[in-house]
Amino acid sequence: MLMLMPMVLALATDPGPAATSAPRPTPLTEIGRVRALPACVPIVAHANGAITQALENDRTLAILSNNAHTTDFDKLNFLQRRNAVEALMRQAEAIRVASSSGDVEVKKLREYENSANDPERKAELKAFADALAGALYRQKKAAVEFMRDVTIVRGREEAAEGRELMRQNNPVPPSGPAAEMAGAPPILPGVPDSYNKQFKQIGDAIDADVLGVEMDEGIAADHSIAATSGC
């Protein structure tokens, strides 16, 4: 049985030759002890709840991208490829579910934002919650689009396989030029000429979405201390 590589790659990548020397986004981490000001324990709890889901999604997106890029789908038979794709779909579904769980925590942060009396803390909480919500949304969007794209590829393959089964069960005797091609392998319209190429493109789309996730997570990290301290 095919085993997908559980390798987690670094998510931060240079956007291309046009990149400048601007500092990279601040890495998002769970909020620990706040030294300068007393921590707002309930806010920290909900903040860490959302951050945990976002960081887990980062790891799963890295695995998903790695498997989409490195699995040799073209060398797999139909059953092996189906199993491999099912594993990828489960990973994408896990991201979708985690993003929804993170959104619940962000809504709690919105409640603290709405009840905050200090304008500065209110602004920090809003910026923090907005950025976390943005990262979770982008992660969910990447997972949903991955599932959609894979479903399209898989649907075309299954339709082609169905047409081939019907052809085999209802053969039409070849005549003329067709008779000369009787011994040739059947061509299945709708099946991609290279599954590896298809999944590489899908993996590239994930990597593009990850760049936006990193930007949102960096903004959240920059506001995390001010948003969760000073109660």
Residue 153 has pLDDT above 90, yes or no: no
Residue 182 has pLDDT above 50, yes or no: no
Are 121 and 168 contacting, i.e. CB atoms less than 8 angstroms apart?
no
Query: Quick one: angle between helices 78-115 and 119-169, nearest 10?
Result: 160
Residue 205's CB is within 10 A of a number of other CB atoms, namely 16
pLDDT category at 171 given cuts 50, 70, 90 is low
Q: What is the pLDDT of residue 12?
A: 37
Nearest-angstrom CA–CA distance, 23 and 215: 11
Q: What is the pLDDT of residue 24?
A: 84
Q: Express each pLDDT in 28-78 by its tens digit.
A: 999 875 444 566 889 999 999 999 999 999 999 999 999 999 999 999 998
Q: What is the pLDDT of residue 3?
A: 44
Q: Is the pTM of this model over 0.95?
A: no
* Least confident residue range of 106-120, 143-157, 213-227: 143-157
Q: What is the pLDDT of residue 39?
A: 65
Nearest-angstrom CA–CA distance, 42 and 55: 20
Task: Write the single-letter amino acid at 133.
Answer: A
- Top pLDDT among 206 and 11 is at 206
Chain mean pLDDT for the chain: 81
Mean pLDDT throughout 157-174?
58
Alpha-helical runs (H) found in the chain: 41-70, 78-115, 119-169, 177-180, 195-227
Percentage, residues of the chain above pLDDT 90 = 61
pLDDT category at 99 given cuts 50, 70, 90 is very high
Q: How many CA atoms lie within 13 A of 219 on its CB side?
A: 17
Closest CA relative to residue 51, chosen from 101, 11, 97: 101
What separation in angstroms does the CA of 99 have from each of 52, 69, 201, 210, 218?
10, 23, 23, 14, 17
Nearest-angstrom CA–CA distance, 160 and 93: 26
* 81 CA to centre of own chain: 20
Place of tokens 């490195």: 70
Q: Residue 82: helix, strand or coil by DSSP?
A: helix
Q: Express each pLDDT in 125-152 by its tens digit.
A: 999 999 999 999 999 999 999 999 999 8
Residue 165 has pLDDT above 50, yes or no: yes
- Top pLDDT among 194 and 188 is at 194
